[in-house]
Chain A
């Protein structure tokens, strides 16, 4: 195993041990030894990925805040906070396969994707960020953006270092806009602030107009897409939001004013607002308007999106 893969594997193993999942660790240690021992067929690789569900704990892995920090130290953009125990065991298995033979890895991974269930898809997408020769998996991550299973979409798009580094511009912007469109948390798309650009801002403002024409509300994180120099179009859209009565989206708009460097407008807003919007405005004035700040104004987290959001179009 390379040092990188080893470090990640050790982190996952430790998290499982700390979580008290010794049975899962024992089982996955034995499987990993088997993988390093010799030829592993693609079918056998996929089979073990399935069988992990019989040995791994149900529910969240729940690593500590310090452990999550350590994970980000191993790979910037990786946040395992929401991983399940089963995903942890499965990612270990993928790492073992990567270590056994990196050249034939894409075939094995693609075969596993072909036969994967919902949980396996999530684990496979979460594993892409660690794999050697990541450009070989960029098409696959694009497929992950096209899914309508929101659990899978988030596993592929959120809390992972892969999309920001390896998706092309079309794929990257589709990921971001689809997150807004479907209610997935854009603020958890790792590296968003490094890659947000004028074209994404343009797409976001088009979406604002489309939703307003339909009489729909604006998801607060949409305003994350505005950054850099403020354009007249952006300011008109923000003013309209702040003149409305959607508190959460107004908070998002206030953070956007901070991102656009509109201190004067923020001061005017500070004088006229109250409650949560006032709080957010002050925070934006103090310079807290990076993507993580949008976590506080994001739609509350839940297990599943609405059927309307997962529509066929």
Chain B
């Protein structure tokens, strides 16, 4: 795993510490995408959204760069907060001011939570915006009534005219994967303990379906989650005989391709060796010091 590199296309780093960044860098995570989501409790005014989106394109981007990790983001109004309709209208009004910035690779994460009318309105509005600006869309699928939510997400996206090649449906499981593959969209899987996928299940799914349209991510956030779940899952895949090419697709290539349609990902720059700042070397406190992160465990179900 020495030279392995990983793209974690769903990581809420705002909620994570520098320890996590250190461990991710040491485990080979070279790039990540931080989609906008909710903060665990509802926001009460549009200013909170402005500052949050600002931090995704500003402070968090800078913070990641200190560890040699390239930080992209997705901008969107999440499904939960779409239900506060007055606030949602205000958020959608300012959203275009962030969505077209440098390093914004998608509209996301958007979609359904309870599958309400208000959620659908916000979802449709954002899909239309993505279509008008030829953007990639990252769809969050609901925890409850997931299968119906995913089918509806796909149908509504098709109605609006979103190119399936630019649509990523996230948080899939065994029950939803075929619907997504049949639709021609990218199927993303969140390796997240207890509520989403475990890494062993991900290995089994990859063996069954191949990795051609699969994207593995961690969705690490403020909940019990694992920022190393992409490298851990890659290791388990290799250990259990999944081909290196398939592992590369699921943990690097497909994310780079799907989100690369944004034109915001410079693959040449990502391919270059990470520059460790000489000022850090001078101070003898490189951020990549210490033992490599352990990736030989499994993310439990």
Interface residues of A (CB under 8 A from B): 43, 46-47, 50-51, 53-54, 58, 86, 114-121, 148-152, 183, 299-308, 310
Contact = CB atoms under 8 A, between A and B. Distances in A.
A308 B279 contact: no
A150 B102 CA distance: 19
Name, among B66, B94, B281, the residue most crowded by chain A CB atoms within 10 Å (CB to CB).
B66
Contacts of A149: 58-59, 62
B204 interface: no
Contacts of A307: 18, 21, 63, 66-67, 287
Given A118-B58, A149-B58, A305 B100 contact: no
15 contacts: A47-B100, A50-B97, A58-B269, A86-B102, A117-B58, A117-B101, A117-B102, A150-B62, A152-B62, A300-B278, A302-B276, A304-B277, A306-B66, A306-B280, A310-B63
6 smallest beta-carbon distances between A and B, as pairs: A302-B277, A117-B57, A53-B102, A300-B278, A149-B62, A302-B278
B271 to A, nearest CB: 14
Nearest to A54: B263
Contacts of A50: 97, 100-102
B10 to A, nearest CB: 20
A183 B58 contact: no
A255 B276 CA distance: 29
A305 B279 contact: yes
Contacts of B98: 115
Given A47-B97, A53-B102, A306 B277 contact: yes
A229 to B, nearest CB: 32
Nearest to B282: A299
A115 B65 CA distance: 20
A174 to B, nearest CB: 20
Name, among B63, B269, B276, B282, the residue most crowded by chain A CB atoms within 10 Å (CB to CB).
B282
B54 A300 contact: no
A306 B61 CA distance: 14
Contact of B65 (A58, A304, A308): A304
A302 B68 CA distance: 12
Interface string B255-276: 0000000010010010000011
A2 B226 CA distance: 57
Contact of A306 (B94, B97, B285): B285
Contacts of A310: 62-63, 66
A299 B278 contact: yes
A6 B67 CA distance: 41
Contacts of B278: 299-302
